[in-house]
A and B are shown apart, each in its own frame.
Chain A
Amino acid sequence: NAGVTQTPKFQVLKTGQSMTLQCAQDMNHEYMSWYRQDPGMGLRLIHYSVGAGITDQGEVPNGYNVSRSTTEDFPLRLLSAAPSQTSVYFCASRMGESQPQHFGDGTRLSIL
């Protein structure tokens, strides 16, 4: 059972570079989300989707873009990396509103 798969697991970028964090799930979940985790702040929602073709902003969307062309995939794009975006990023999916989230193992991103 693959569940939620995130790639890469680690990445180092220079300020101003762009990149895409990949997220794929094989559970046919409609709901997908991206979070960032910073020490002492829990998980904060960046963007989310309730189905293919539908995305919306979360709590901290600035500097990030998402798209949802298929049910399975939900990539997160950093447009111009900044040191403040150094964090651990988690992708998650779930079946519906009252259902628990399934998390990937995270991507550890450092911006120099």
Chain B
Amino acid sequence: AQSVTQLDSHVSVSEGTPVLLRCNYSSSYSPSLFWYVQHPNKGLQLLLKYTSAATLVKGINGFEAEFKKSETSFHLTKPSAHMSDAAEYFCVVSVTGGGNKLTFGTGTQLKVEL
């Protein structure tokens, strides 16, 4: 079985300050992990993915995430927030042998203030 926990349902930052969105996962097998972003009334867009290569993964729009097996975490970070980053972010896990089943976290709403 696999599961994902996004530790914060809402995060608020000031423009220009760092962003940290936290994700812990549980998986019996080696996972693939993804972060998606969803802007209002839009579909989900892939930010980045981890698939057992480098543990520090760089994505689009300046985001990156680090896979830490010992902590079962895959936190999303960005050095400097921009107003356009305001959106909902989802952490997702998929396991080899799991067929086409992905498990989504419940989402973190990021607010960016001036």
A positions within 8 Å CB-CB of B: 4, 31-33, 35, 40-45, 48-50, 56, 58, 90, 92, 94, 97-98, 100-106
Contacts and interface: CB of A to CB of B under 8 A. Distances in A.
Contacts of A44: 104
Mostly helix, strand, loop or mixed at chain A's interface?
strand
A100 B100 contact: no
Interface residues of B, number: 26
Given A43-B90, A104-B43, A50 B105 contact: no
29 contacts: A33-B100, A33-B102, A41-B106, A43-B90, A43-B104, A44-B104, A45-B101, A48-B99, A48-B101, A50-B100, A56-B99, A58-B101, A90-B43, A90-B44, A94-B100, A97-B95, A97-B97, A97-B98, A97-B99, A97-B100, A98-B51, A98-B96, A100-B46, A101-B34, A101-B44, A103-B36, A103-B45, A104-B43, A106-B43
B99 A50 contact: yes
Nearest to B34: A100
Given A40-B107, A100-B46, 9 more contacts: A31-B100, A35-B104, A43-B104, A48-B101, A49-B100, A97-B99, A100-B49, A102-B46, A106-B42
Contacts, number: 64
Interface centre among A43, A48, A103 (most CB of B within 10 A): A43
Interface of B: 9, 32, 34, 36, 42-46, 49, 51, 90, 92, 94-102, 104-107
